Amino acid sequence: MHAFDVLGDPVRRRILELLADGECASGEVVDVIADEFGITQSAVSQHLKVLRESGFASVRAEGTRRIYAVDTRALVEVDTWLARFRRFWAPPLEALATEIARGKRARKPRRAP
């Protein structure tokens, strides 16, 4: 499955957001996702499996719990693909930073002579 096919699903994107904040037990992920999306534990498990098999998440056993974390392998693929488009947003962002700096200078109160 292509990285953007994986990321195209809002449930999987939300799971990645949770994992980006730090490791989570599968039960914690299920609690949040089931509450937000109204899907079953089994459905959440299938999304975790897709993330794991596509290289977006890793899992380790801790006793009877399964702990999930972000795996950067697939994110590197996404970043590499996006690299060719950064030229479209980098200059406008640099120009915005320049304008913000100009605005700050213009608002500075001038000292009386």
Select the CATH number that applies to the domain covering 1-107 from these four: 3.40.50.720, 3.10.110.10, 1.10.10.10, 1.10.10.1200. Answer: 1.10.10.10
pLDDT by residue (tens digit) across 27-51?
A: 999 999 999 999 999 999 999 999 9
Helices (H), the chain: 3-7, 10-20, 26-37, 41-53, 72-83, 86-107
Q: With contact defined as beta carbons under 8 Å apart, do 51 and 1 qualify?
A: no
pTM, two decimals, is 0.75
What is the identity of the amino acid at 104? K
Mean pLDDT of the chain: 89
Which pLDDT score is estimated for 71? Answer: 95
| Residue spans per domain, the chain | 1-107
pLDDT by residue (tens digit) across 62-86?
A: 999 999 999 998 999 899 988 988 8
What is the identity of the amino acid at 58? S
Q: Is 1 exposed, middle or buried (0-12, 13-18, 19+ CB in 10 A)?
A: exposed
